[in-house]
A and B are shown apart, each in its own frame.
Chain A
Amino acid sequence: MKAYLPRLGRPDLRLMLAALFAIVILHVCATMAAPSLALWSAHQRLAPALKSNTMVVLPPISPSSQPLPFLAPDVRIALCRFDTSRGKVALTAVLPGPGWSLSLYDADGIATFTAVGRPDRRTDIALILVPDDDRFLGLSPEAQGRRSIRQRQLQVMARTGIAVLRAPDSGYAYRAMTEADMKRASCRPLPED
């Protein structure tokens, strides 16, 4: 140790720079790899229990039925694991007021689309989820000379993901009404035009 100490007084600048560079590289690699190394991301927890392209209204959240951490019973949740690998998926929902929201999360937990209910009016949402590749999905109704009945089309960046409809739990008296509004949300594969 005594022999080693004097050497510490003469730091090797090149070695220090190399160490610093290696620390930065390791820091970046560890941070970038962390999402894919996470054993239990939200998508990994939810996806296995959900049927593809089907909207499911979850029971009220409680300690015994809490699907994700930091998910409180202040909201009711409806989920749809969408998968556009076999074609388009139609998603509809109604957001009657403040506190309601619809978000589409990709497998990395990024919300690629989000809509929120407004206090002054009801928001009707009708989306068509399409694959994010260059696959030919047939001519659009407009290209075929027909009028499209679809109100809005959204290009989803991920091929698979989870649509989350959140409804504020306004208390026991409103529970049935909230649940009825949630059950109006749908998620289903769309036949080709």
Chain B
Amino acid sequence: MRTFGSAFLRHQIKKRVAATMQLLTDWALLILVVIAGGLGTSWYMVEAGSSLSTVSSGPWVMWKTAARVDADPYTRAHFARLGAMPLSSEIGETYLARTDDEGRTLHSSCDYDVVLRSPGLAWWSLAVFDADGQLIQNAAERHAYTSDTAALSPDGRFLASLSRSASPGNWLPTGGAGRLTIVYTLIDMSLATGTGEEDVNLAERLPAITQRSCR
């Protein structure tokens, strides 16, 4: 009788422990899903953006309300995290590209042609950074070209060459930076006057990035 009683007690304890473990597992799973879901989606929206907060065309991404008073929380968080002080999108457009036109990650082990088909009369600049936004150390001290300093080809296009080794024309050295980021900034008075011309042919207005070769 005593043996039966202790076995029954053990069974009861086992059942309770199993039920408690089940409950704890359920809650742990729920909390894990909530944390991963909440933080993961927030991180993605802040880091990569979405059509709510960015404008994209090919590899180029621009945060629509950068530095503006009416900036959405994702844009505010993005630039606070980045530690950058962007030009207000009320007066200029700043586009970032981390891939080429084919979607391949920009890397210093490859050479690229960047072609701006119709530079227009607006002030623009094209600069190359590493993945963290740091300038790439190079002996030529070349990091960017602007509408003031770029040499245009006879047909009016701007052609820049991104490569480790020196090349003729508008060469932007990439050294051994690893992953690259190209930043294209455009200050256009038509944006400040709000003519809406900025929506026309976005792909035409942005430089094309083509991979030439890789080592």
Query: Does B189 contact A118, Cβ atoms closer than 8 Å?
Result: yes
* Cβ–Cβ contact B91 & A101, under 8 A: yes
Q: Give the number of residues in B that approach A within 8 Å (Cβ atoms).
A: 62
- Residues of A contacting B148 with CB < 8 Å? 99, 168-171, 174
Stretch at the interface among B8-16, B29-37, B104-112, B161-169: B29-37
Residue numbers in B under 8 Å from A24 (CB-CB):
38
Contact call B129/A70, Cβ cutoff below 8 A: yes
Binding-face segment, A26-34, A50-58, A83-91, A185-193: A26-34
Over the window 10-24 of chain B, the binary record of Cβ atoms lying under 8 Å from chain A Cβ atoms (1 yes, 0 no) is: 000000000000100
Q: Does B202 contact A (CB under 8 A)?
A: no
Nearest to B22 among chain A residues (CB) is A4
Segment from B54-62, B74-82, B207-215 that makes contact with A: B74-82
B42 touches A30 (CB 8 A): yes
Secondary structure at chain B's binding surface: helix, strand, loop or mixed? mixed
Query: Does the CB pair A72–B129 fall under 8 Å?
Result: yes
Nearest CB of A to B162, in Å: 14
Contacting residue for A26 out of B34, B87, B121, B192, CB 8 A: B34
Interface residues in B107-146 by Cβ distance below 8 A to A read: 121-123, 125, 127, 129, 132-137, 141, 143-146
- A window 122-148: CB within 8 A of B: none
Distance of B71 from chain A, by nearest CB (Å): 6
Is A105 close to B, CB under 8 A?
yes
Residue B170 interfacial (CB < 8 Å): no
How many chain A residues touch B (Cβ–Cβ < 8 Å)? 59
Cβ–Cβ contact A34 & B135, under 8 A: no
Contact A34 B192 (CB under 8 A): no
Q: Is B101 an interface residue (CB 8 A)?
A: no
Decide: A66 near B134, CB < 8 A? Known: A110-B71, A116-B187: yes
Chain A, range 7-38, C-beta contacts under 8 Å to B: 15, 18-19, 22-27, 29-32, 34-36, 38
Determine if B42 and A62 form an interchain contact, defined as CB atoms under 8 angstroms apart. Answer: no
- Say if the beta carbon of A183 comes within 8 Å of chain B: no
Contact with B along A35-54 (1 / 0, CB 8 A): 11010111011100000000
- The answer to whether residues A74 and B73 also contact, given A41-B83, A103-B67 and a CB cut-off of 8 A, is no
Q: Give the Cβ gap from A186 to chain B, nearest Cβ, in Å.
A: 21
Q: What 16 additional pairs, Cβ within 8 angstroms, besides A36-B80, A169-B149, A171-B148?
A: A27-B37, A30-B43, A34-B46, A35-B80, A38-B81, A41-B80, A42-B79, A62-B141, A73-B127, A73-B135, A103-B88, A105-B67, A108-B80, A110-B68, A114-B90, A119-B189
Q: 9 nearest interchain CB pairs?
A: A26-B38, A69-B133, A34-B77, A72-B127, A99-B123, A35-B80, A23-B37, A74-B125, A42-B85
List 23 A-B residue pairs with CB atoms under 8 Å apart, sorted by A's residue number. Answer: A4-B22, A22-B38, A23-B33, A23-B41, A26-B38, A30-B39, A31-B42, A32-B73, A40-B83, A68-B85, A69-B83, A69-B133, A70-B82, A74-B127, A74-B143, A99-B123, A101-B187, A110-B76, A112-B69, A118-B189, A119-B121, A157-B69, A170-B146
